[in-house]
Structure 1
C-alpha cells in the first residue's frame, strides 16, 4: 500500500545520512509518484476511459498543443492545466495533485476565481458551464487569452 505524504515526511525527517536518503528515494514508497504532469494526466484520464484524442477534445485545446502537453514536450500553464482537468471531469483532489506535480499552486478557496473552479469540480460542471460561471462573475474563462 502506498504511504501517505505525512508518513513519508516522518520517514524523511529521520534520515541523517546521504546513503539512507538514496535508499529512501529509490524505495517502493515513491514508486507511484509522478515526476511529470503529463504522466499523471494520462493515467487519470485512462482510468476514466479517455484516450489522448478524447482528452484534447474534452479540454477544448488545439490538437497539436494538446499532444505536445500529453507527450511532455510542453508544460501547460496553470490555466491550461485547469482547462484539461475540468474538461476531463477530474475531482478536486485529482486537480490539486496535477497542479502540485506541475509546480503550480493548488486551488485556493480564498481566491474567488479558484473558488468557482472548486465549485465546478465538486458539482461536475462541464468546461463550458464552468466558463459561463467564470464569465458571469467577471473572471477570465479557462482557455481565454489575456
Structure 2
C-alpha cells in the first residue's frame, strides 16, 4: 500500500521530457474513493460493517460510501480515517479521494485532528480533545 511521495513524483514530472511519459504512470489520475477504501480494508484485514460501526456512520449510508454510490462529508471521511486507524498521510489521501480538503496544520481544529491521528488517538478521544479546546467535534 506504500505509494510514492508526492514530492518524488513532482520531481519526476519536472524532469520528464514530455508530460505524457509521466501521466501514463499508474499512480497518476483521479483517486477513486471506493477503491481506496476497499484497498485500506484489505490491507488491514478489516470488514466494512465493523469500520462503519466504529465510525458511527449509518450502516446503509456507510455501504453507499464504500460502493461509491454516495459522497461523504469531510467529517464522515475523518470518522472513517479514525475507524480504519489511518496515518496522517493516509487520512489526507482519503480526504483527497473523497473530494474534501486535506488536513491543514494552520487551522486549529485540523491541528488537533492531525495531532490525534499522529498519536493514535481513537475517534472518541479526538472528540474529547476537540471539545476541550472549544472546537467543533467530528460527530
Scaled by the length of structure 1, the TM-score of the pair is 0.80
Contact 1:34 1:40 in 2 (8 A): no
Deviation at 1:8, TM superposition (A): 3.3
Deviation at 1:26, TM superposition (A): 3.4
Contact 2:40 2:84 in 1 (8 A): no
- Name the residue aligned to 2:10: 9
* 1:135–1:2 distance in 2 versus 1, CA, 3 Å: closer
The separation in 2 between residues aligned to 1:2 and 1:86, in whole angstroms, is 20
* 1:4–1:136 distance in 2 versus 1, CA, 3 Å: closer
The separation in 1 between residues aligned to 2:77 and 2:96, in whole angstroms, is 11
3-state DSSP of counterpart to 2:126 = helix
Deviation at 1:135, TM superposition (A): 1.5
- Name the residue aligned to 2:36: 40
- Name the residue aligned to 1:111: 107
Structure 2 residue ranges without an equivalent (≥5): none
Aligned residues: 137
3-state DSSP of counterpart to 1:93 = helix
Scaled by the length of structure 2, the TM-score of the pair is 0.83
3-state DSSP of counterpart to 2:54 = helix
* 1:42–1:34 distance in 2 versus 1, CA, 3 Å: farther
Contact 2:34 2:65 in 1 (8 A): yes
Can you list the C-alpha shifts for 1:8-53, whole angstroms capped at 9, x where unaligned? Answer: 334444455xxx62x643344x37x662112112212321221111
The separation in 2 between residues aligned to 1:82 and 1:49, in whole angstroms, is 20
3-state DSSP of counterpart to 2:100 = coil
- Name the residue aligned to 1:67: 63
- Name the residue aligned to 2:23: 25
The separation in 1 between residues aligned to 2:103 and 2:3, in whole angstroms, is 24
> Larger C-alpha radius of gyration, 1 or 2?
1
The separation in 2 between residues aligned to 1:82 and 1:90, in whole angstroms, is 10
